[in-house]
A = this chain, B = another copy of it.
Amino acid sequence: MIGKTLSVETCDCNVIHEDIVNKVKGQMPPEETLYDLAELFKVFGDSTRIKILWALDEAELCVCDIAFLLNMTQSAISHQLRALKQAKLVKNRREGKVIYYSLDDEHVKRIFEQGLIHIREEK
């Protein structure tokens, strides 16, 4: 019997659907992978970061270019670039005082495209 050692409430469905539920359980990727996936999408889940990524897909830019482009504070942009860098979506190089940022992943645009397909379907 399924559901005997369960710590949360359940209904009879689990018994009825035992086979399906077990099958699904067996095909789920490891917990850690799903967590990492969520962490990645969390980075995409902010319009400021989306805009930064989109801009950097068009050209290499410095922090103040991006700040100007998005009409935002350099500090705010810097904080977000930090998040993008930690997610390994963005890299940077120094040229004197100026730090240029660019995409560190060629298929960021492909993730965007998949998202756009969904949005457009919603009408």
- Could you tell me which residues of chain A, from 26 to 69, have a CB within 8 Å of some CB in chain B? 27-29, 33-47, 49-51, 54-55, 58-59, 61-62, 64-65, 67-69
Tell me how many chains of this kind the complex includes: 2
Given A45-B44, A50-B38, does the pair A9, B65 have CB atoms closer than 8 Å? Answer: no
Assess the B50–A34 pair: CB atoms within 8 A. Answer: yes
Q: Does more than half of chain A's interface fall in helix, strand or loop, or is it mixed?
A: helix
Produce 1/0 per residue, A59-86, CB < 8 A to B.
Answer: 1011011011101111000000000000
Q: Which residue of B lies closest to A14 (CB)?
A: B68
Asked if residues B72 and A55 are in contact (CB atoms below 8 Å), the reply is no
Which residues of the partner chain B approach A35 to less than 8 Å between Cβ atoms?
Answer: 47
How many residues on the A side are at the interface (Cβ–Cβ under 8 A)?
A: 68
Q: Check if A1 is an interface residue, CB within 8 A of chain B.
A: no
Please measure, in the bound complex, the distance between the C-alpha atom of A73 and the C-alpha atom of B116, giving whole angstroms.
32
Residues of B within 8 A of A65 (CB): 13-14, 17, 20-21
Closest 9 CB pairs of A and B: A42-B45, A41-B44, A38-B47, A45-B45, A11-B64, A41-B45, A24-B58, A111-B114, A14-B68
Can you offer 8 A-B residue contacts whose CB atoms are under 8 A? A8-B68, A17-B62, A28-B54, A40-B118, A41-B42, A42-B45, A44-B45, A111-B111
